[in-house]
Every structure is written in C-alpha cells, then in structure tokens.
Structure 1
Amino acid sequence: MAQPDFDEIIDRTGTACSKWDDMQASYGVSPKDGIAMWVADMDFRPPASVQRAVERMAAHGVYGYPGANPAYLDAIRWWMANRHGWAIEPDWILTVHGLVNGTAICVDAFTQPGDRVIVMTPVYHAFARVIRAAGREVAEFPLAIEDGQYRMDWDGWARQLTGRERMLILCSPHNPGGRVWSPEELRQVADFCTAHDLILVSDEIHHDLVMPGAPRHTVMAKAVPGIASRLVTLTAATKSFNIAGAHIGNVIVADEALRKRLQGRMMALGISPGLFGLGMVAAAYSPEGAAWVDALVAYLDGNRRIFDAGLAAIPGLRSMPLQATYLAWVDFSGTGMERAEFTRRVEQGARIAANHGGSFGTGGEDFLRFNLATPRARVTEAVARLQEAFRDLQ
C-alpha cells in the first residue's frame, strides 16, 4: 500500500460540505481565510480500496436496490475479530443510516414518551437532540474531572435517579473528552444499568482511533459478557475512514429479544441501507484499510502533539489529554474570561470555527472542541493564530 498523503490540502469548499461551506453561517468564519475545526469529519481522502470500490460501482452504472451482501457482513465480522478481538455473528448486525439514526431507533424502540434517557455530560450533542425530539427527557449526569481527565461520578449520579430512567447511552471512547474507559469503568457502567434496569446503548464509533501509548479500547460486549440481554453496541466505519457521507452504521445486538424489537421499529420506519455505503464499508474493513488506519492514527498523534504543545504556551488554556478520537477538548476557564470573550477571540481573532462546549451539555461551558483531523500545515497555522489571539496573556 502506498503511504497515504495526509498532508495534501484538499479544497472542500463548494462541494456541499457542511464543515467548510456552512461555517460562515454558523460561526461567522469565512472559508476563504478561516480554518474549519468543528464538524467531526476529516479533511483526508479515504483508503484507495474505498475509492476503487466506488469507481467499480460507478463503472457498472446500474444503481438498483441492494440485496443480500455477505461480503459486507463478513468484512464487519473480520474487522471486529481482528481489530477488537470481538467475535460476532452475521445475524447480530443491523444496518442503519449512521449512528445518530441508530441512536434514535434505540430511543424509539426501548423507551416511551416522558421516559428519561441518561447521558454522561459533556457528551456528543446529537444524543440530546434525538432524545428531546422523540419526546423523552434528557437526564444529564455530569462527569467529574480528576487529574485533568473525566471520571464517572457514581455517588452523585445515584442521587439523581428518579425511577423514570429507561436507558443509558455510553460514549466509548468519550467524545469530546477523548477518554478511553477502562474495563473496570465499563463493568461499573454495566452494574449500574443492571441495578437500575436500564437498556445500555454503547456508542463505540471512535474505537479505531486510539492514540499510541493510550490504554487499549475494550468493547463493552467483551468487558462484560453478562450484559448482553440489555446491551446494544453501535459501531461504524464512517469515522475511521472518513466516509460519513455514506450514512451507514452498524447496530450490533447479540440478544435475540432486543434485536427483534429493533428490527420491528426499523421495519415500521422503512430503514434499509444504501448501495454505495455497503460497498464502501466492505472495502474499508480490509487489510488495506487496517494499514491505512494505522498510518492515520500515527499522523493524528503528530497533530495532537503540535496542538497540545502550542496551547501549553498560552497561559490559562489547557487541552484535555487525548487518548482517542481526533477531537481536542480545550478548557479556557484558566483565562478568567467570559465565554463570549474567549469564543470571540477564537472565531474573530484567530478565524477558527470550533464547536462551542455548551452544546455538549452540562460541564462543557468553558470549553471549545477542535477537530485535528486536517493536514498538519493547518494545525500548525491554527496554533499560531491562537497564540496571536491570546498574546496578551503570554
């Protein structure tokens, strides 16, 4: 496999790209001179194996309804076994239109209007969005910070229970904090769900993107095999290979009763996969794709080091240690500035579009999230711009 060129600057403007074409409207940052570091996709081409698969489909020229696709299921099973040591059966795999869609279907299938769904905040903002849209209540259980990293606060969370909770959504690895939860922490989550009769939805979309030297990601189904009767695992190739536009994800359910409930809701909603996504995933989950991901993670780690070192030179700014994902979670509370002021400096001074921390729920108010999955020249430029925007602190 040829070495991927992650340094290539690819102009994504004018391609209906949310990350670049929408940042002017969302942040007042022009794509002409701004840096898009908000939407969680990468500015890199996917592996050549994926591109070849798309070109083969285009060359065939007939885009009818897809049918049985054993190559797709076999590729998912191969990937989970070889990359995560997790043996799954083909009939455990349900295919959805991305993991936000998968989360929404779980909420629809396993809870009723008025029920409470637990999320550990700050956490991926789409969880709360789909919970509220379904007429359920978001139960924000804030994470604690110890030694600069997030920790689960079981004593505090137990006091928040009302008896109306029906589901807990776990983000593993954690977005936006970049934590890889330990097997012991996963067992604690499982014990909590068992004790309070909660369906556990484990969103593991970032499981391939673990930094060198960080703790190894453990699949919840492996950490606690006994939780299968209440466990739904969400995975996807979309984050790992930058194919989010394919809108395809895996809902993996070992328990037959849980799986039938989900299948029933999917049938009622008319959920079925798209042709191109199936082919792209089958091509991504391959030895060539594995080598590409290894090269990607090494590159992202280099970006992380540059970004963290640059921010460390700005008094009052601190980037949470990034164990997984490509999303830097930066705490601005040490500057003593109001949120409006540090946000203004980033957007208007540095001309960088970064996610506002408050959108991730309680505990995110003093943070911004920066996407580091972009060519290194842009990360270096972003650091220089941030240092200039906060020069009066140095």
Structure 2
Amino acid sequence: MTMPVNFDERIDRRGTHSAKWDMMEPLFGVPASDGISMWVADMDFRPPVCVQAALEQMTVHGIYGYFGDDRAYVAAIRWWMQNRHGWAVEPSWIFTTHGLVNGTALCVDAFTAPGDGVVLMTPVYHAFARVIAAAGRQVVECPLALENGRYELDIAGWDAQMTGKERMLVLCSPHNPGGRVWSPEELREIAAFCERHDLVLVSDEIHHDLVMPGHKHMVMPLAAPQALPRLVMMTSTTKSFNTAGAHIGNVIIPDAALRKRFQQRMDALGISPNSFGMVMATAAYSPEGAAWIDALNAYIDGNRRIFDAGVNAIPGLRSMVLEGTYLAWVDFAGTGMEAAEFTRRVGEQARIAVNRGPTFGKGGETFLRFNIATQRDVVEQAVGRLAEAFADLQ
C-alpha cells in the first residue's frame, strides 16, 4: 500500500550534520538562525516510507556485518531500469560505487592516462572538473550555446576544439545546472561526436528520474544504440530518493572490454559497497518508490512555477526553464551588476545560500544555482526575499 506523501512537512535539519544546512554559515556567511539553504543538491524531504522501513529492519536486527547475496539489489536495479526507463540491463553489467562522483573518478582512472583530455559540456556539475584535474588529466571545456535563454549543443564548435589528445566525454543528462532534458536527437549527436573523436562516453544520469511534466528523459543506450561499445552509464537512487548520504551509485557498462578495464580498477582500489546503501536502494527501486517519485515531480513542478514567476518578475533576472532536476539556474546578466554585487545581495540581503555560477565552468559567470527541492512555503519566502534584495530594480 502506498502511503500518502506530505512534502509540505517542515523538517529542521540544523544540527544534524547536514552539509546543506550546517555548512551554510561557514561556507557562505548566511546566518544559520534565519538563512535559507538552497545550495547543495539534496532535498528537504523524507525518503519514501519503504526506505525508512528497510533501515528500521536493519536496526532492529542490530548486526551490521559484511553485505552478501546482492541478488535482490541487482534485481531492483534491473526492474527500475526496465519499468521506468525501458532499458533491459544484464546483471553482469552492474558495478556498485561509493556514489557517482566516485564513479566518475573511477572512469577517469580506468579509461584515461595522466595528461589526457576529458571533455565537459560547460557549465556543468562542478565535481566533474574537480576529480579530472585532481587525477592529472586536462579538463577540456566545450561551452554550451545559450540561445534564447536555453542551452543548445554546439557540435561544430566542439569539433574544432578537439586536438586528438581527448579520451573521454562526461555527459550530464539531464543537465545540471541548466535543467535541460536532452532530446533523443541531441543524444545521438553527442554519441556521434564521441565516435568521431574516439571518446569513451560516460553518461551521468543521476537526475534521470527527476523530470518535469511535459518532458521525457531517454537513457543514452536507447537514444543512441551505436554508442554501446564506448558507453558507460551511471545512475543512482541517491538524488531521486534523497539518500545522498548513503554514497551509493550504479555504473552500468554493456561492453565487455570496457567492463574488464573498469573491474581491474575496482579490484586494484579495493572498492566494495556499504550495506546501508544497498538496502536503501533495494527498497527505493520498487512500486512504492515509483509512486513517491511521481508525487515528488508534481510537487517540484509546483515549486518551479512559483519560483520562476517570482524571479522572472524581477527586472534583470531570468530563471532558465526547468525541464529536469530540481535545480533552478538563474541568470543575473540583465541587472548589469558585477557578479560580486548580485551574489552579495542574494547572500547578505536575501540571506539565501546558493551555488555560484563560475564553479560550473565557462558560461556560468552571470548565474547562480538555487535548489528548489524544499517545502513550498520556503520557496515562497525565498522569492519574497529576492524581490526585496533587488527592489531598486523594480
């Protein structure tokens, strides 16, 4: 039986070792007492009841030994990918990592060498560049084209950038921070680009369950089957079900040769999953979890409408149309302000902690990213504060 969901329930996360709330003041100077945290990408909602129940069963048993017999866990992943995304996954294709930043780092380690180039379509999730650079590889930024307030591919421009030293492309699908749900045609263009330049294609689809009404995400292997010999798919329950602290992710590799290389790095580094994450993922990838996701997306869509209406009413601000994820990408270019000034107003006057655009790479200079996966009254309060902070423009 599916339990009713109350996303309006206020949950005080302060003092719970929450990065999102407890690090707001140290990192951004936004006071913990009355600040609003809209930066790091986790939600202020409880996960589905089935996830909580699975954890409670573990604590009642009271023994936390090594996890064995992952058949139910693997079956849950396969069920989810088939029923929610139409893709049949073989058990042998699935690897479990400590989240998808770890999965990205393992791909960099397995499929590239120091000095190689790794392509990013910027602006994009900042952790990609961080792990690539830390591994001694070159971050190759291929800027997305901003056309009429929407990101588009610039394949011709990217072709011209390639030097032959690039070995991998990391795709964010749906796109963080721009919220684009790439069309099947665009995914095929990206796959063809990777084929032309002989790039391993790592498709990070951690947000693929978080899609707004009227839009449909397609997984890369279905959009571009020709990419399978070079494709690494990355998915996870952690963004979808607000279990990021579990640090668990799925790296799914259909090609045997790529699987062998990835397995060698997993073995060499002694990577093995934690039992809490596997239990939570098994519970989440279920009919009850699916019903919860449907309710979540409808709720976030309601938040999106309120946030966009309020932000777009402020002269000089423009919120990019959100097709997927729960991350609003707001352009302040129209204010004519320097980044330091509009960032100061959001942090000091509106008392909202947000992610700063330049951390996402080229193209992010005039943007800030707002996490709207929170209670609706918090979104309404944030919009009101922004209007006050930029009242002189109205």
SS of 1:42's partner is coil
> Residue 167 of structure 2 corresponds to which residue in structure 1?
166
In the TM superposition, 1:103-122 aligns within 5 A as 103-122=104-123
- Counterparts of 1:96 and 1:156 in 2: how far apart (Å)? 34
**How far is the alpha carbon of 1:390 from its aligned partner?**
0.2
> Residue 361 of structure 2 corresponds to which residue in structure 1?
361
> Residue 65 of structure 2 corresponds to which residue in structure 1?
64
Shift >4 Å, 4+ stretches: none
TM-score for the superposition, normalised by structure 1: 0.99
> What amino acid is the match of 2:356?
H
> Residue 258 of structure 2 corresponds to which residue in structure 1?
258
SS of 1:241's partner is coil
> What amino acid is the match of 1:187?
R
Unaligned runs of 5+ in 2: none
> Residue 155 of structure 1 corresponds to which residue in structure 2?
156
> What amino acid is the match of 1:283?
A
**How far is the alpha carbon of 1:3 from its aligned partner?**
1.6
SS of 2:119's partner is strand
> What amino acid is the match of 1:49?
C
> What amino acid is the match of 1:267?
D
- Counterparts of 2:148 and 2:390 in 1: how far apart (Å)? 25
**How far is the alpha carbon of 1:68 from its aligned partner?**
2.1
> What amino acid is the match of 2:279?
G
SS of 1:38's partner is coil
Two-structure CA RMSD over aligned residues (Å): 0.6
**2:37 corresponds to 1:14:** no
**How far is the alpha carbon of 1:15 from its aligned partner?**
1.0
- Counterparts of 2:69 and 2:138 in 1: how far apart (Å)? 38
> Residue 371 of structure 1 corresponds to which residue in structure 2?
371
**How far is the alpha carbon of 1:5 from its aligned partner?**
1.0
- Counterparts of 1:297 and 1:31 in 2: how far apart (Å)? 28
- Counterparts of 1:4 and 1:55 in 2: how far apart (Å)? 19
Deviation by residue 1:261-318 (Cα, 9 ceiling, x = unmatched): 1011011111000011110000000000000000000000000000000011100000
SS of 2:354's partner is strand
Deviation by residue 1:65-121 (Cα, 9 ceiling, x = unmatched): 111211100000000000000110111100000000000000000000000000000
> Residue 291 of structure 2 corresponds to which residue in structure 1?
291
**How far is the alpha carbon of 1:211 from its aligned partner?**
0.2
> What amino acid is the match of 2:179?
G
Deviation by residue 1:210-240 (Cα, 9 ceiling, x = unmatched): 00012x1010011111211100000000000
> Residue 30 of structure 1 corresponds to which residue in structure 2?
31
In the TM superposition, 1:92-107 aligns within 5 A as 92-107=93-108
- Counterparts of 1:315 and 1:330 in 2: how far apart (Å)? 12
> Residue 87 of structure 1 corresponds to which residue in structure 2?
88
> What amino acid is the match of 1:211?
M
- Counterparts of 1:27 and 1:324 in 2: how far apart (Å)? 26
Equivalenced residue count is 393
- Counterparts of 2:32 and 2:373 in 1: how far apart (Å)? 17
SS of 1:238's partner is coil
> Residue 326 of structure 1 corresponds to which residue in structure 2?
326
- Counterparts of 1:203 and 1:55 in 2: how far apart (Å)? 31
> Residue 239 of structure 1 corresponds to which residue in structure 2?
239
- Counterparts of 1:25 and 1:184 in 2: how far apart (Å)? 44
**2:210 corresponds to 1:203:** no
> What amino acid is the match of 1:260?
K
- Counterparts of 1:26 and 1:382 in 2: how far apart (Å)? 19
> Residue 183 of structure 1 corresponds to which residue in structure 2?
184
> What amino acid is the match of 2:113?
Q
- Counterparts of 2:206 and 2:304 in 1: how far apart (Å)? 19
> Residue 5 of structure 1 corresponds to which residue in structure 2?
6
> What amino acid is the match of 2:226?
G
> What amino acid is the match of 1:66?
F
> What amino acid is the match of 1:378?
V
- Counterparts of 1:4 and 1:102 in 2: how far apart (Å)? 31
SS of 1:159's partner is helix
- Counterparts of 2:147 and 2:183 in 1: how far apart (Å)? 15
> What amino acid is the match of 1:356?
R
- Counterparts of 1:311 and 1:322 in 2: how far apart (Å)? 13
> What amino acid is the match of 1:241?
F
**How far is the alpha carbon of 1:158 from its aligned partner?**
1.3
SS of 2:328's partner is strand
SS of 1:62's partner is coil
> Residue 136 of structure 2 corresponds to which residue in structure 1?
135
**How far is the alpha carbon of 1:151 from its aligned partner?**
0.5
- Counterparts of 1:101 and 1:68 in 2: how far apart (Å)? 23
**2:274 corresponds to 1:274:** yes
> What amino acid is the match of 1:104?
A
> Residue 346 of structure 1 corresponds to which residue in structure 2?
346
Q: Report percent identity of matched pairs.
A: 69
> What amino acid is the match of 1:306?
I
SS of 2:139's partner is strand
- Counterparts of 1:4 and 1:41 in 2: how far apart (Å)? 18
> Residue 222 of structure 1 corresponds to which residue in structure 2?
222
**How far is the alpha carbon of 1:147 from its aligned partner?**
2.3
**How far is the alpha carbon of 1:48 from its aligned partner?**
0.1
In the TM superposition, 1:371-390 aligns within 5 A as 371-390=371-390
SS of 2:74's partner is helix
Deviation by residue 1:13-53 (Cα, 9 ceiling, x = unmatched): 11111000001111000121000000000000000000000
Unaligned runs of 5+ in 1: none
> Residue 126 of structure 2 corresponds to which residue in structure 1?
125
SS of 2:383's partner is helix
